[in-house]
Homo-oligomer: A and B are copies of this chain.
Amino acid sequence: MRISTKGTYGLRAMIDLAIFSQVRPVSLKKIAARQEISELYLEQIFAKLKKNGLVMSKRGIQGGYYLDQDPQDIKVKDILEALEGDLSVVSCLAENSEPCNRSAICPTKVLWKRINRSVQRTLDAYTLEDLIVEAKYKDSDLL
């Protein structure tokens, strides 16, 4: 029932990126240092983020990653789904799953659906902008 480090690292990295990439692209080396995450691992995470259209990149010297959208237009849900895949708590309710043969009589389905809905609602309600506000509030260096 855990979100993996791909999701948690990726979310923190996106907040970092949103804060620091306003002037120029930010290199993974910088994010890795600030967030204490393996740079090589971040490469894989950002490959997924890019494939899902959540970040843009510029190669070469002075290159790095940056956001193309306003943070308030990026939902936390989009980031986590890009990194974790489907977020259903049970696989039989995932997007691309053939329904199990007990679906019609399954007494637990209603419960799993309700948990899914409440998670989705929370995830939908939060945007990257909300987390930036939280970050600036918590990090005394930025006050």
Question: Interface residues, chain A, CB within 8 Å of chain B?
Answer: 1-3, 7-8, 11-12, 15, 36, 76, 84, 87-91, 102, 104-108, 110-112, 114-115, 118-119, 121-123, 126, 131-132, 134-135, 138-139
Contact of A119 (CB < 8 Å), options: B11, B36, B104, B118: B118
Interface SS majority for chain A: helix
Is A134 within 8 A of B110, CB to CB? Answer: yes
Residue in B106, B118, B131 whose beta carbon sits within 8 Å of that of A138 in the complex: B106
Is the pair B104, A138 in contact by a Cβ cutoff of 8 Å?
yes
Contacting pair A15 B107 (CB below 8 A): yes
- Copies of the chain in the assembly: 2
Contacts A1-B89, A3-B1, A90-B3 given; indicate if A114 touches B108 (C-beta within 8 A): no
Q: Using Cβ atoms and an 8 Å threshold, which residues of chain B touch A123?
A: 115
A121 CB to closest chain B CB, in angstroms?
7
A1-B1, A1-B2, A89-B2 known; A115-B122 Cβ under 8 A = yes
- In the complex, A138 Cα to B121 Cα: how many Å? 27
Q: How far is the CB of A51 from chain B (nearest CB, A)?
A: 20
- Bound CA span A105–B131, Å: 12
**How long is the Cα–Cα vector from A88 to B119 in the complex, in angstroms?**
12
When chains A and B are docked, how far (Å) is the Cα of A30 from the Cα of B111? Answer: 24
